[in-house]
């Protein structure tokens, strides 16, 4: 078996590091991206969106309710401290999630 040279070891190390990095840049964390993340989690648990790794939609109503409750809690705790855009987005997402939740639990 041939020994690896320093160049090939260095190349292998760089390739491994590149594989560990995600292809897309993560968005900067803000209140809006945090709420959107929670919204995505709720939609996943409501069975609206599929698991990206399997393509399968599953439902877990209890976890969906927990995500919705967390968004509502954040809305209450941040009242008066959000921009108009953040407040509007939070209220809109919360309304939509609650409507989907009601539909899924009937």
User: Measured over all CA atoms, what is the biggest interatomic distance in the chain, rounded to whole angstroms?
Assistant: 68
- What are the sequence ranges of the domains in the chain? 30-105
Cα–Cα dist 97/100, whole Å: 5
78 neighbors 31 (Cβ within 8 angstroms):
yes
pLDDT for 97 equals 97
Separation of alpha carbons 29 and 62, rounded Å: 26
User: How many CB atoms are located within 10 Å of the residue 91 CB?
Assistant: 13
Least Cα distance to 33 among 86, 88, 80, 97 occurs for 86
pTM of the model: 0.73
pLDDT of residue 96 exceeding 60, the answer is yes
Per-residue pLDDT tens digits for 1-36: 445 455 555 555 555 555 555 556 877 889 999 999
- Structure confidence by residue, pLDDT tens digits, 25-68: 877 889 999 999 999 999 999 999 999 899 999 999 999 999 99
């Amino acid at each position: 078996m041939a020994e690896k040279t320093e160049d090939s070891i260095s190349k292998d190390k760089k390739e491994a590091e590149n594989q560990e990095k995600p292809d897309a840049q993560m968005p900067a964390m803000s209140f809006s991206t945090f709420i959107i993340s929670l919204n995505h989690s709720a939609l996943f648990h409501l069975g609206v969106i599929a698991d990206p790794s399997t393509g399968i939609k599953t439902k877990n109503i209890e976890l969906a309710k927990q995500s919705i409750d967390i968004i509502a809690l954040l809305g209450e705790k941040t009242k008066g401290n959000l921009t108009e855009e953040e407040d509007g987005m939070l209220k809109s997402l919360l309304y939509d999630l609650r409507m989907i939740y009601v539909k899924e639990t009937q």
